[in-house]
């Protein structure tokens, strides 16, 4: 009887997980590799009680991303030792990294080449419509072994022209924020949710963000910072799978696949509303204590 009950519960769970995946929800990964293993075991019908419980927790924690595109695994190159799940349909047939649970930490000396391989995989990307209006693909900037990584929304005009993230006015402010933390820009890693400039600097569409995310996920996996800072709501939404105001997401440490993640205001917003800099500084101080570095007492002036 208990066996039958457990089997039907597992079957129901498996169906639910499949359903979530078809919707484009892959936030099981937010809970780290263990949740992924648990979810996969449930799908394979071999879950232990604790794995099933873990999968239920992960599944119920999963949050739907806005308007995900349907899945297709046809354009994904086979992954050697890694477990894959079906992926989103892409606009083009260009390959993307398989969505996998985090691999073991790469030795520091291998990270630059691993990042270069991701950049090479991106190529002259035509995977979404942002390709049509961009000048340069903005891959990232900074130290491949950084302990702290910032993630913004997407390139603006200056970034599109130079091929580097955060080099315009918002970038100046970000530089000041980094300096106020007692760090140099070269010591952190900076990337965006999308790597091509959206027209008129509009917010990236969900299909654009979802198409670009596997590359950012791989960059984070390679750099493996100790702390991530999501700059603005778009970064928070796509990293954490949550929607909401910045006010509702900041002030606590989130988990992105085992990495402590702080949400704060986007520097462009702070340029429009400098009164919020004090609040952003509190967020950065939280990131600093997560990093174990001492917070200078003064807020950024900028």
CB closer to ligand URA, 153 vs 208: 153
CB closer to ligand URA, 56 vs 190: 190
Element (H, E) at 238: helix 233-240
CB closer to ligand URA, 89 vs 162: 162
Half-sphere CA count of 143, side-chain side, radius 13 A = 14
CB closer to ligand URA, 103 vs 271: 271
CB closer to ligand URA, 163 vs 258: 163
Half-sphere CA count of 192, side-chain side, radius 13 A = 25
CB closer to ligand URA, 89 vs 172: 172
CB closer to ligand URA, 20 vs 166: 166
Output the smallest distance, CB 134 to ligand URA, in A. 12
| Three-class secondary structure assignment of 107-176 | CHHHHHHHHHHHHHHHCCCCCCHHHHCCCCCCCCEECCCCCEEEEECCCCHHHHHHCCCCCCHHHHHHHH
| R_g of the chain, CA atoms, integer Å | 20
Footprint (CB under 6 A) of ligand URA, residues 26-45: none
Over the window 129 to 158, marking each residue x when it contacts ligand URA by CB under 6 A and - when it does not, the resulting string is -----------------------xxxxx--
Output the smallest distance, CB 237 to ligand URA, in A. 13
Element (H, E) at 273: none
Footprint (CB under 6 A) of ligand URA, residues 171-200: 171, 192
Output the smallest distance, CB 231 to ligand URA, in A. 6
Output the smallest distance, CB 63 to ligand URA, in A. 22
Q: How far is CA 202 from the centre of its chain?
A: 19
Output the smallest distance, CB 294 to ligand URA, in A. 28
3-class SS of residue 241? coil
Q: Which stretch binds ligand URA (CB under 6 A): 4-12, 47-55, 116-124, 159-167?
A: 159-167
Compute how many residues bind ligand URA; rule: CB under 6 A.
12
Residue with tokens 């398989």: 98
Output the smallest distance, CB 207 to ligand URA, in A. 18
Q: How far apart are CA 202 and CA 130, in angstroms?
A: 11
Q: How far apart are CA 267 and CA 98, in angstroms?
A: 32
Q: Is 166 in the site for ligand URA (CB under 6 A)?
A: yes
Q: How far apart are CA 150 and CA 256, in angstroms?
A: 13
CB closer to ligand URA, 144 vs 165: 165
| DSSP, res 184 | -
Q: Which stretch binds ligand URA (CB under 6 A): 10-18, 166-174, 250-258, 289-297?
A: 166-174
How many Cβ atoms from other residues are within 10 Å of residue 40's Cβ? 18
Report which residue's Cβ sits closest to ligand URA.
Answer: 152
Q: How far apart are CA 276 and CA 254, in angstroms?
A: 21
The footprint of ligand URA (CB under 6 A) covers 152-156, 159, 165-166, 170-171, 192, 268
């Amino acid at each position: 009887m208990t066996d039958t009950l457990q089997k039907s519960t597992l079957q129901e769970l498996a169906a639910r997980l499949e359903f979530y995946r078809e919707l484009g929800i892959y936030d099981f990964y937010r809970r780290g590799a263990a949740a992924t293993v648990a979810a996969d075991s449930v799908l394979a019908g071999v879950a232990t009680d604790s794995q099933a419980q873990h999968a239920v927790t992960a599944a119920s924690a999963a949050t739907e991303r806005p308007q995900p595109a349907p899945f297709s695994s046809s354009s994904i190159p086979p992954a050697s030792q890694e477990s894959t799940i079906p992926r989103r349909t892409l606009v083009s047939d260009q390959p993307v990294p398989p969505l996998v649970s985090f691999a073991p930490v790469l030795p520091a000396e291998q990270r630059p080449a691993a990042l270069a391989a991701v950049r090479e995989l991106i190529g002259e990307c035509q995977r979404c419509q942002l390709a049509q209006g961009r000048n340069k693909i903005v891959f990232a900037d900074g130290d491949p072994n950084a302990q702290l990584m910032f993630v913004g929304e997407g390139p603006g005009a200056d970034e599109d022209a130079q091929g580097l993230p955060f080099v315009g006015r918002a970038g100046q402010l970000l530089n000041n924020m980094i300096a106020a933390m007692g760090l140099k820009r070269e010591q952190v890693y900076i990337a965006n949710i999308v790597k091509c400039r959206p027209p008129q600097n509009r917010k990236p569409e969900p299909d654009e963000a979802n198409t670009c995310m596997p590359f950012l996920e791989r960059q984070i996996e390679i750099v493996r910072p100790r702390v991530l800072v999501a700059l603005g709501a778009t970064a928070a939404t796509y990293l954490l799978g949550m929607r909401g105001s910045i006010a509702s997401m900041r002030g606590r440490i989130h988990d992105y696949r085992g990495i402590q993640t702080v949400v704060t205001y986007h520097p462009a917003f702070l340029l429009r509303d400098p009164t919020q800099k004090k609040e952003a500084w509190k967020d950065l101080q939280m990131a600093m204590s997560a990093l174990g570095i001492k917070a200078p007492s003064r807020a950024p002036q900028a």
